[in-house]
Amino acid sequence: MKNWPAIRTCMSYAALTLACIFPVSGLAALHCDIDTGGAAPFSPYTRENPVAVDQGTPDYTVILALDYAQFLPNMRLTCSSDGADFSAPASFDGTVTLSLSSANDQALDWAGEASTANNGIKMKMYIKAVSYNEETLPDSYAPAALAAGKRLGVEYPILNGKDDTTLFQFGAQYNDGKTLYKFDAVHNYAIESMRVELIKFGWMEYNTQQVIPAGSHLTFTIDGMSGVATVDVPIGSGVFIAAPSCSLDHQHQTVGLGNLNNHTEGTFPIEGPLVRFGVNFTCSTYTNNVEITFDDANSALNASNTLVAHSTADGKALTGLGVGLYDNDGKAILTGVKQSLGVAQQGKNIAFFQAAIVQTAANITDSTSNNFTGQFSAKANMTITYY
């Protein structure tokens, strides 16, 4: 019996499929591949289209999230001995598995986060099993099967690379006496998917360096045989970050609300027709979070659902009348409360809101308690916040 040869680690940075081949008892080459289809998920976030993150953003905030369809949607795992039979060591139980062991040749930290080229940003990953070959072959272990405790379509946060990412096991075909084995990619295959989050971890560096540098890769370990063998999966390079900058396009904006039909009875408040208007703003970069806050320019009170109405003739406040603000879905907006707009694209953006006249009482009176007729207005100050 020949001595079991040392198993060699190999690396490659090809765009599509990466494999590590290692000899088995000198008779055949067993290798496992992970084909991502050439995914380069970080490439859209170039120097011209950076992700905007403010230094004041709280630590552990997700600054970029790429879902399963955006990151690594179809990782095809296969194992093959190229049609040749091989003898296996005594410890071989008929199956091999693949599990994540490192990112960019560095082990994950205690929280399962991977370091990046920017000390203030870490990478958090999630994985799920998508499908596998459930065919039953004669003289064979199950060509592919879910690992113990794993289920299809269930997301597993990657904390411990080996335990969390061993989703499948591949079984060998064997001869009558189970003295020779073989694997082939036609039967020994499964598909899994991964998503990723980039998380602010501390003080970030604003420079021209990519957060995910060229040559970035994940390393999976092949378990089930003697020694250690790995296969590298490229994840593409990219993600430049920049300090965000957003500003409102107009210092002043007027919205006409039409006329009020005075109601002398009924249940108050009574809202008039909603009038839609847009707020235009420009951001220097792609920005993860943008918020608009409306404050009553004529009142220090916050959390009010109406703006104070004033007579245009003398500028004094009216009673029984106000102006309501609403989001694009018609939900009332409270003054002083931030309205989240979500992400903003680099360049011009627009957010839509609505406004309406609101009669709050049967009698509408001026500052001298006389019934009011005439023109009136309300004024709001808008503040844009971004991070």
Query: Which candidate, 2, 5, 51, places its Cα nearest to that of 29?
Result: 5
Contact call for residues 133 and 188 (beta carbons, < 8 A): yes
Q: Give the pTM.
A: 0.65
**Rounded distance between C-alpha atoms, residue 53 and residue 90, angstroms:** 54
The span from the CA of 218 to the CA of 179, in Å, is: 34
∠ CA 291-295-299, rounded to 5°:
170
Q: How far apart are CA 110 and CA 357, in angstroms?
A: 56
In the three-class reduction of DSSP (H, G, I as helix; E, B as strand; rest coil), residue 162 is classed as helix
> Which CATH number goes with the domain that contains 254?
2.60.40.1090
Q: What does the pLDDT average to over 36-65?
A: 91
pLDDT > 90? residue 292: yes
Share of residues in the chain with pLDDT > 70 (%): 92
Residue 332 lies in a domain: yes
**Whether pLDDT at 70 is above 80:** yes
Q: What torsion, rounded to 10 degrees, do the Cα atoms 125, 130, 136, 138 define?
A: -40
> Residue range 368-377: average pLDDT?
93
Q: Which helix (H) or strand (E) holds 163?
A: helix 161-165
Q: Are 99 and 196 contained in the same domain?
A: yes
**3-class state of residue 165 by DSSP:** helix
What would the mean pLDDT of 367-371 be, rounded to a whole number? 93
Percent of the chain with pLDDT strictly greater than 90:
73
Say how far apart CA 384 and CA 369 lie, in whole Å.
37
Say if residue 187's pLDDT is above 80. Answer: yes
**What is the number of domains present in the chain?**
2
Which domain does 190 fall in, by range? Answer: 31-242
Nearest to 199 by CA among 322, 115, 310, 309: 115
Q: Each residue of 214-265: pLDDT tens digit?
A: 999 999 999 987 666 899 999 999 999 988 889 999 989 999 999 888 888 8
Do 87 and 213 belong together in one domain? yes
Q: Is residue 85 part of a domain?
A: yes
pLDDT-derived band of residue 2, with 50, 70 and 90 as boundaries?
very low
Q: Residue 59 pLDDT more than 80?
A: yes
Give the 3-state secondary structure percentages of the chain, helix then strand then coil, rounded to 5.
0, 45, 55
Bridge partners for 195 per DSSP: 126
Confidence of residue 15 (pLDDT cuts 50, 70, 90): very low
- 107 and 202 share one domain: yes
d(CA 147, CA 232): 21
Asked whether residue 274 carries a pLDDT value surpassing 90, the answer given is yes
Task: State the CB neighbour count (10 A cutoff) for residue 308.
Answer: 19
User: Tell me, what's the pLDDT at 225?
Assistant: 77
88 and 196 fall within a common domain? yes
135 plus 195 within the same structural domain: yes
Token output for 373: 């007729």
> Which pLDDT score, from 0 to 100, does residue 30 have?
83
Q: Are strands 286-296 and 51-52 parallel, antiparallel or unpaired?
A: parallel
Q: How confident is the model at residue 227, as a pLDDT?
A: 66
Token representation of residue 107? 């082990």
Residue 21 counted as domain residue: no
